[in-house]
Structures are given as C-alpha cells and as structure tokens.
Structure 1
Amino acid sequence: MQLNDYQHLYRTNLLNDVVPFWFNHSGDKEFGGYFTCLDQKGEVYDTDKFVWLQARQVWCFAMLYNRVEKRQEWLEFASQGAEFLTEHGRDAEGNWYFSLTRQGQPLVQPYNIFSDCFATMAFGQLYQATGIAEYGNIAVKTFLNILHRKDDPKGTYTKAYPGTRPLKNFALPMILCNLVLEIEPLLKPELVEQTIATGIRSVMEEFYRPELGLILENITPDGSFSDSFEGRLVNPGHGLESMWFIMDLGERAGDQALIRKAVDITLSILDYGWDRQYGGIFYFLDVKGYPPQQLEWDQKLWWVHMETLISLLKGYLHTGDERCWQWFEKVHDYMWSHFADPEYGEWFGYLNRQGEVLLPLKGGKWKGCFHIPRGLYQCWKTLEAIAEKKASTLLQD
C-alpha cells in the first residue's frame, strides 16, 4: 500500500464505519448516556453504564466536532452523554462512580480513579466545543481531585493491606501525561508545566528500566524493583501507548532527545512483546520469564495494537526511523486482518493467542467508543503529516 492509501483507509474507516456504528447503536434515547455493551451487530446485550466508558464517548464525539467537522449531531450526541454524567455520575465528594444502572443509579463505588481521568477529558473537550462554563469547571475540579488522590487513588476501596508491600502503579502517571494537554487551556501554566515534568520523570526515569529496555507496571515507592507478581509485571500495551504521549510532549517542548528516547523504547517494547509464533502483541508478560498470574496473558487485545500503530507512526514522523515504518506495516497487517469486522462494522476486541476471535462483542465493560476511533484519527492525521513532510522534503531537494 502507498502512503495515501493508508491515509484513505484510516480516515474512511473512522468516518464511514466506526463513528456511525456508535452513533447509530449506542445512544439511550430514553434515559440518556450510552449503551456500551453491544454485540457483533451492535445490538444491546446489557444496559449497565460504566462511567469511564460514558466519559470516553463524550470525549470522542466532542473531539470529532472540534477537530474533524462541526457536525451538530456529533455535538448533541456528546452533550446528552455529558448531561447524564452531570446528573448521575458523581458522589457527594465529587468522585466519579465506576458504574451505574441504565437509569443512573450508582452500582459500583468510585474506587477507580480512571473514571475521573476520562471525565476530565470529556468535559474539557466539550467545554472547547461549547464554551459552557459548567463543563470547564467540572473538568478542572475533577483534575484537581485526581492530583489530590494520586498518591492513594483507591483510598478506602483498596484491597492491599497497608504497609506490607506498597507499590506505585504506572497507569496514572502515564495518563496524566496526556490528560494535562487535554485541558491545558483551563489550567494555570505553572500547574501544566509541573504536571508534565512530573509525568515525564515518572514514566521515563522511574518506571522505565534501561537495563531491560522495558517499562514496569509497578515499582516500590522509592523506585526499586519488587520481585513479586506485581513487580515483575510488564504490560506491553501500556508502555507502547505511553510513548506517543511522551512524543507529543517532546514535540511540544521541541525536545528531540526525548522523542528519540521514546522511539527507542517503543521499538524495544514491541520487539519484546511480539508473539513470534502466532503474531500480535501479548497482553501481559513476566519480566523474569515466569508464568504471569493473569490467565489472559496471551490474549491479543484491540487497544494494545491500535496504540502501537500510533506510536510507530509518530516515531516515524519525528525521526524517520525506517524500523518504525517496517513495524507499522507489520502491526497494521495483523490488526486489519484479525480485529476489523467488514461484515457488521467496528472492530473486535479480544482474540486468543492464535488470533481467533475470542469474544464477538464490539463493546462491553472495558471496550467502548474510544481506542479505535481515537487511534484511527491519530493514525490518519499522523499519516497526513508524514505525507506533508515528505512532500516538503522533495520540494526542498
């Protein structure tokens, strides 16, 4: 395939397939918000509403309105989801629940701070689209609450016994690197810079282990290695996703050395996480080669592969490293031949190790309207930027 063929493919799949799938099948016209538990054809098989997925879908349609085309139906679709969340999504202290009934009654307590992270993104993006002050206020208050809770994100809901084996987890520092850029216009510049600096240091100096070329999921509070199930855990998808966040921060700062380092880490994690027998990227691995405790360790997941494509394309854009393009074509071929569903639209989420569809769902408790549309958009726009850079280089020659 040529560069313009890739551009066309990612753009048309986003706008003519994935976005219509969610727009046509997921809206709850009676109670508001979205159904995310959709089967292969897009039919609803469960009506529980998971707050982080509700917020991700608000973000997605507001983002499309802001960055692709100002379609009123996209804005209205995002706004009705935000209204549902505003009315039902938080407890009295402003923490966002994990899940609700269809009608909006709380089902699961706000133990998971990622609901708050994606609520911040959703209301920040919707504020950009509408200028409605309440949305901006919700985004900022939620973000400040995340910073307040970040050292003990689960609070009273943690299962760990205090003090025996305290660990820091990679997911929140990783997300903060992206989250702060989402609402940068709403924050004081010094808070933005402080959050970015802390995030980069945490990702690139604490969780990244240069002797391994890998990012660990959990480390001790002082940054040491914990020789335990949690301490030995590697989630290749998390590491690969975080690297395009870091590349974006490097581009923002004009820090080519940071971008180069992120590209090198991308290639190292991908080489480590690739299944040389069946293809695709493993979900979990043990850094010492022991059996992981996660029984789903060898599954191939949609988001892992989509986020990898973004990092590879951004790496190629910024450095021209041909290994990024070679890996992009390899991961692209695997993903489009295994995850995409040309029959009913959207993408499957879960494959077994051999690459066979494990669950035919298009959405559920963990998969919603986020990684696929965001990834298609990011790949489309990055491919455009690569084409523009190549054209500019030819003109200069």
Structure 2
Amino acid sequence: MKYAETYKNSLLNDILPFWERYSLDSVHGGYFTCLDQTGKIFDTDKFTWLQARQVWMFSMLYNEVEQKESWLQIATSGADFLKNNARDSEGNFYFALTKEGKPLVQPYNIFSDCFAAMAFAQYAKASGDERFSKIAKTTYNNILRRKDNPKGIYEKSTGVRTLKNFALPMILSNLVLELSAILKPEEIEQTLDFSVNEVMGVFLDNDSGLIYENVMQDGSLHDSFDGRLINPGHGIEAMWFMIDIGVRKNNQNLIQKATDTIIRILEYGWDKEFGGIFYFMDAQGHPPQQLEHDQKLWWVHLETLVALAKAHEHHPTKTIATWYQKVHDYTWSHFPDPEHGEWFGYLNRQGEPSSTLKGGKWKGCFHVPRAMYQCWKSFEKIEAK
C-alpha cells in the first residue's frame, strides 16, 4: 500500500478544510477550537497554546507545502491576535483568553510560551515580518530563564519532594529546531545537547527501557503516584524528536536508541485485550491516579505513527514495519470520522468515542494535521527508495 498518498490526501482534503471551514473568528481574529462533531462552536474561549499551534500549522504549510494566500491569511489572523492580547507585562503568555482577547487564566504554564515561540518563528518566515522573529527570540530566552522553575509563583508543591518533569526537555528538543533560523548555531547545539542528555540520559530508565514522566533532581526514581507515572504517547513522541536530532547530527547511535525505545514503550503500553495504546500507566502496575488512564487518545496514536514512520525511514527493521502496520490499522479504523470529517480525540478502552468533540480545550488544529504532514513526507522518501 502507498501510504504517502493516504496521508497527503487526508491532510489537504479532510483535516485542513474542517478547520478552515469552522474555526476562524472573522470578528476578533484567532480561532475557535471548541468544535462539536459537526464543527459547531460550543465554547468561545481561546486557549493560547491551541491558538499558537494553529498559527504554526498554517505558517509551516505555507512555508513547506504551498504558498497559498488563504493559509497565510489564517496564520496572520492568529499571529496578530496573540501578539496583541496574549502576553502579560513581563512577556509571559496567558493560558486562556476570552474570544475578544481579554485574559482569563494567568500564565501558569510555560507550554503556552513554547508554542507561541514556535508559531512566531514560522510565521515570521512566512510573512517576512521581523517583529515576530524578535518576539519568538525574546520568548525563547524567557523559556530558558524559567526552565528550572517553569511555574514560578503558580507552583503548587511545597518543595519537600522536588520532582522534575519530562515535558520541558522534551519540548525544547523540538522547539530549538523550530527556531534554528533565528538562533545562533552555538545556542542551538547547547539546547540540543541539554535536551538529548535529559531525555535519553535522565528520564529514560536503563533497566526498564521506559521514559518516566517525573524523576528526582538527581535522576533517581521515586516510589509515588507521580514518580511511577508512564505516559507512553509522550515517550514515543519524544523519540521522533530524538530521531530528527540524530539525523541532523548524523548520530546513528541516537537514532538506534530512539528506535529501540519506541518498540519498548509500545510493547509495554499496548492494550493486549482491546488494542490501542494506554494513556497513562503505573511503572509498577499499581492503579494510576488518572481516572482516564485506560482511554485511547488521538495524539498518542498519531505521534506513534510519526515515530514509527521516521524510524522506518532512517532505521528500517521488520519489527518496526510490523508495529507500524499494527498501529496504523488500529488508528485509521477508530479515530477518523467518515461522516463529518476530522478525527475523534477520545475513545474509551474498548475503542468507542467517549466524546464526539473535534476540538476543545486540549485538542485543536495540531496533532492530526502535523502527523498527516510528517507521515506523508516520511513515506514519500520510503516509497521513493
């Protein structure tokens, strides 16, 4: 089967038209992300990281696929909305805004800033507007300044048990490549080295071969809910970032290690009874604290398809091909909505939609189209061979 055409067709003829048709706020700028199964808006609040992800998406497609004026206009609408409304007086990005752009939720979460930096860098390239390069660079420096204490005054823990979280080094490994046009080469290499060391040397546990979500400051494991937490999708997504870095640095060992880790996490995280990948797991098999732990989520499966496609492109093995087919068959038979377009986000353990929304507070125009693009490009190269 020719997969490149499947992904390309889905991206251009299903996924993007859904967001172009239903998400645009022509009055205030930016995007509505709370869309029901048919695309109807059910909440008008705007979540900064989803706004930024959609700016990034349409800017990236304009830069990499086709210079369509409509794509640039969509990106401009979100970029201007964020620039004018989304930052506090210190340049930190609020988590949520009203549809008009008034701040609703304080900038407690550094990931809004990460996605804003990504968005502005891509948009600056698409539009040629240097103001957005400057904001991207300032925001990136702000992220680095906050990386050891990302929540700052909004941190809830008392400091008695200081676990560090996997998400930031993971996201930095991708963010720095996104900003490569506006950072100095030494800045890029410094952050890449930091990220690879953290992801593969600290959060990847040598004994189990699994990525832990939280470890102690010295890298040791902690026997608690948070300390035992495994998020298979997170770990696998990080591995395609590692493969990208391995390709950039021509580091075959890193590509091999990332590929091995993808397989190990899949073997651990696959639901052998109903199929699909669990959302959360406990490293010792205890009941996880997250009540949604056995749900099957869209982004987990899509990021796994990207990771397997990249592994297949750069380090093909029979095991990778077998796993790709298995994940592909489950994902494509459960998540797409043939009636109304786009993909369901949340399935129960048995694989039925537990919610029929197409977008909300956490799901926007990002994981589905990005995965379609990434898999399309990987399979183009695989099939050309």
TM over 0.5: yes
Structure 1 stretches of 5 or more lacking a match?
Answer: 391-397
Whether the aligned pair in 2 keeps the contact of 1:316 and 1:322 (CA below 8 Å) is no
- Quote the Cα distance in structure 2 between the aligned partners of 1:71 and 1:160: 47
Aligned equivalent of 1:27: 24
Map 1:266-345 → 2, pairs under 5 A: 266-345=262-341
Amino acid at match of 2:5: H
Q: How far did 1:8 drift?
A: 1.1
User: What secondary structure does 1:134 align onto?
Assistant: helix
User: What secondary structure does 1:102 align onto?
Assistant: coil
Deviation per CA, 1:83-103, whole angstroms, max 9, x where unpaired? 000110000000000000011
Is 1:105 the counterpart of 2:92 in the alignment?
Answer: no
Amino acid at match of 1:102: K
Query: How many residues are matched?
Result: 385
Aligned equivalent of 1:177: 173
Q: How far did 1:7 drift?
A: 1.3
Map 1:124-273 → 2, pairs under 5 A: 124-162=121-159, 164-273=160-269
Deviation per CA, 1:295-341, whole angstroms, max 9, x where unpaired? 00000000000000011111111111121111111111111111001
Is 1:356 the counterpart of 2:347 in the alignment?
Answer: no
Deviation per CA, 1:134-165, whole angstroms, max 9, x where unpaired? 01001100000000000000011011112x10
- Quote the Cα distance in structure 2 between the aligned partners of 1:332 and 1:22: 23
Q: How far did 1:185 drift?
A: 1.1
Q: How far did 1:188 drift?
A: 1.1
Aligned equivalent of 2:36: 39
Whether the aligned pair in 2 keeps the contact of 1:229 and 1:292 (CA below 8 Å) is yes
User: What secondary structure does 1:185 align onto?
Assistant: coil
Amino acid at match of 1:276: K
- Quote the Cα distance in structure 1 between the aligned partners of 2:285 and 2:263: 19
Among 33, 37, 46, the alignment partner of 1:49 is 46
Amino acid at match of 1:112: N
- Quote the Cα distance in structure 1 between the aligned partners of 2:54 and 2:127: 16
Aligned equivalent of 1:10: 7
Q: How far did 1:130 drift?
A: 1.6
Q: How far did 1:219 drift?
A: 0.4
Whether the aligned pair in 2 keeps the contact of 1:37 and 1:44 (CA below 8 Å) is yes
4+ long deviations beyond 3 Å: none
Q: Taking every aligned residue pair, what percent have the same amino acid on both sides?
A: 60
Q: How far did 1:387 drift?
A: 1.2
Whether the aligned pair in 2 keeps the contact of 1:275 and 1:281 (CA below 8 Å) is yes
- Residue range with higher mean Cα deviation, 289-298 or 316-325: 316-325
Amino acid at match of 1:18: I
Aligned equivalent of 1:82: 79
Is 1:70 the counterpart of 2:67 in the alignment?
Answer: yes
Deviation per CA, 1:54-90, whole angstroms, max 9, x where unpaired? 0000000001101111000000100111000011000
Amino acid at match of 2:158: Y
Q: How far did 1:378 drift?
A: 0.2
- Residue range with higher mean Cα deviation, 310-319 or 238-247: 310-319
- Residue range with higher mean Cα deviation, 320-329 or 103-112: 320-329
- Quote the Cα distance in structure 2 between the aligned partners of 1:10 and 1:260: 25
CA-atom RMSD in angstroms: 0.6
Amino acid at match of 1:134: R
Q: How far did 1:189 drift?
A: 1.0
Amino acid at match of 2:218: D
- Quote the Cα distance in structure 1 between the aligned partners of 2:60 and 2:347: 29
- Quote the Cα distance in structure 2 between the aligned partners of 1:287 and 1:211: 12
Whether the aligned pair in 2 keeps the contact of 1:240 and 1:307 (CA below 8 Å) is yes
- Quote the Cα distance in structure 2 between the aligned partners of 1:289 and 1:322: 29
Is 1:58 the counterpart of 2:55 in the alignment?
Answer: yes
TM-score normalised by the chain length of structure 1: 0.96
- Quote the Cα distance in structure 2 between the aligned partners of 1:24 and 1:319: 39
